[in-house]
Chains A and B, each alone.
Chain A
Amino acid sequence: MVKPGSRVLDIGCGDGTLLRLLAEKRDVDGRGIELSQAGVNSCVTQGLAVIQGDADTDLEYYPDLAFDYAILSQTIQATYSPRHVLEQLLRIGKHAVVSFPNFGHWKVRAQLMFGGKMPRTPNLPESWSDTPNIHLCTIKDFLDLCDDIGAKVERAVVLNASGTKLVSMPLFAQNLFGEQAVFLLSR
């Protein structure tokens, strides 16, 4: 989804794996924001330009359209204000790339329905009292939010837990069989 040679901000960049990959494979001019000290240290050690910060509060400091792509990878469900964060992404980047675990997957629905307990899957491994995920959503939920804030979906890719792309299918099927989703958005 990311064009070679572009400027990228990876929000919640962890230990810098994605940033490094993008720099090596796509010659990207990358920056990162990461909450954890350990993550930031790991990134700085690899020569990545990463600042310690919180996606919920620190995105306002970036100027408008400062990046070609603002990436929020597997993080939106852990933020306090997903709507606010998404709006900041679309302000800062010409495009936003958002990936998240799909709470509408049939395994999730089955565990709740038949097990009566909060689901634990490969994409959602932690117990309900331990997880950083406080704003889970389904693919349909996310599409509703995009509609609400006026974001255009340019591309949507649906994956299973190991990251294999699923063949194109109607929305209700994506919502049932996709364990992760990746969206390319713009305004």
Chain B
Amino acid sequence: MNDSPGAESFADTKRREQITNPQSQIVHYPADEPLPLDCGGALAPLSIAYQTYGTLNADKSNLVLVCHALTGDQHAANLHPLTGKPGWWDTMVGSGKPIDTDRYFVLCPNVIGGCMGTTGPSSMNPETGRPYGPDFPVITVRDMVRAQARLLDHLGIDQVLCVLGGSMGGMQVLEWAATYKDRVFSAVPIACAARHSSQNIAFHEVGRQAVMADPDWCQGRYLEEGRSPRKGLAVARMAAHITYLSDAALHDKFGRNLQDRDKVTFGFDADFQVESYLRHQGMTFVDRFDANSYLYITRAMDYFDIAADHGGVLANAFAGTKTRFCLVSFTSDWLFPTEESREVVHALNAVAAKVSFVEIKSNKGHDAFLLQEPELFDTVRGFLTAAARRRGVEGAQGWLP
């Protein structure tokens, strides 16, 4: 490790520790229990890192599964081991919060392809003794869910009370409801879609190209070379971050305000506050996320298309389902607009599923599901309580929403 710009940094070393030795609970599946993958291959050995909050009740009926999004991880409601910041869903998960850890046993696993302890491209390939890198198989959202199902088997859970998630987390919820119908009592897909649109794919492609254009990416073998494609990944993050915010909110927050100066410098420094903000977003991201993971997970989202897996008709995916659904979208989310959620609602109506749908007024864009949104909290709290009562979770009859 030296001081040249593209070399691995101390932050990289700290981050890599989480791959092999995460601050999480972890399950290891040996080489003779491979996880079959949609690409035709298999993953073995497989490790799944996860966090839990709350207590599992006696008849195992209060388990709530939380699925994280593209750049999230299993640390939904605890301080992040690398950044020290509160968990990504600290707003929703905790004692007395909508996903109440006093009532429910909350499980949040790291997805395969990730970099916080579950097997991913930065994990050790047993056949070579070196990190997988670009040899890691291309995984899908269904593969992620398949791995989670295996984790549930390991914990002795047959049916979960509820699966919830936003963005890619919401995609996993839909995949759960389509593929493991009997294992999902209720589902809350938030700010998501049944497939990535052309525009969504385009944005992800820009991000991937930025990573792969970084000379320190080394065709994906940067770990072996002791280098780190930080700049490329930071740019990818900057571009993606813009898609998570609304035009109005961005303007409200920054406008054309200048960063610590009275006038523009006629140069390419971060003159505007919004530039400084984005650069900061990029720099902090690379300290906690692996470049190859970014490639693999964005790819999984691009490949996601539930209707295509079921003869091109979305309704077919949910035929015969008894799961109770509650879809949530946000008015200023232009990455996964309300129309996408409505399409899923229509498909569910067509198969007579029990579905609720709420569009929440917010100017916070796609990121709204991570932020202080009282309507979201009320909806989730109410829906979960009702589901718990319906399922007969012990004590739930006395719970006020």
| A45-B401 contact, Cβ under 8 Å, with A51-B345, A66-B349 | yes
Query: Is B101 an interface residue, CB under 8 A from the partner?
Result: no
Q: How far is the CB of A53 from chain B (nearest CB, A)?
A: 8
Query: Is B299 an interface residue, CB under 8 A from the partner?
Result: no
A52 in contact with B357 (CB, 8 Å) = yes
Q: Which residues of B contact A81 (CB under 8 A)?
A: none
Q: What are 8 residue pairs bridging A and B, where the CB atoms are less than 8 Å apart in the complex?
A: A7-B352, A31-B355, A40-B358, A44-B326, A44-B356, A47-B390, A51-B357, A52-B357
Q: How far is the CB of B348 from chain A (nearest CB, A)?
A: 9
Q: Which residues of A contact B383 (CB under 8 A)?
A: 44-45, 47
Q: Would you list which residues of chain B between 326 and 357 have a CB under 8 Å from chain A?
A: 326, 345-346, 349-350, 352, 354-357
A31 in contact with B386 (CB, 8 Å) = no
A48 in contact with B350 (CB, 8 Å) = no
Most chain B CB atoms below 10 A, which of A43, A46, A51: A51
A61 in contact with B356 (CB, 8 Å) = no
Q: Which of B44-52, B244-252, B284-292, B374-382 contacts A (4 or more CB under 8 A)?
A: B374-382
- Supplied contacts A45-B382, A51-B357, 10 more A-B pairs, CB within 8 Å: A31-B349, A37-B375, A44-B386, A45-B379, A46-B382, A47-B386, A48-B356, A49-B356, A53-B357, A63-B349
Chain B residues in the interface with A (C-beta under 8 A): 324, 326, 345-346, 349-350, 352, 354-361, 375, 378-379, 381-383, 385-387, 389-390, 401
Query: Is A80 an interface residue, CB under 8 A from the partner?
Result: no
Query: Is A41 an interface residue, CB under 8 A from the partner?
Result: yes
Q: How large is the interface on A (under 10, 10 to 19, 20 to 34, 35 or more residues)?
A: 20 to 34
A44, A49, A52, A62: the one within 8 Å of B359 (CB): A52
Most chain B CB atoms below 10 A, which of A49, A62, A66: A49
Q: Which residues of B contact A66 (CB under 8 A)?
A: 349, 352
Q: How far is the CB of A175 from chain B (nearest CB, A)?
A: 37
B352 in contact with A41 (CB, 8 Å) = no
Query: Is A70 an interface residue, CB under 8 A from the partner?
Result: no
Query: Is A50 an interface residue, CB under 8 A from the partner?
Result: yes
Q: How far is the CB of A26 from chain B (nearest CB, A)?
A: 17
A52 in contact with B354 (CB, 8 Å) = no
Task: Give the CA-CA distance A114 to B385 in the complex, in Å.
Answer: 54
Task: Give the CA-CA distance A52 to B357 in the complex, in Å.
Answer: 6
B355, B361, B386, B401: the one within 8 Å of A51 (CB): B355
A37 in contact with B324 (CB, 8 Å) = no
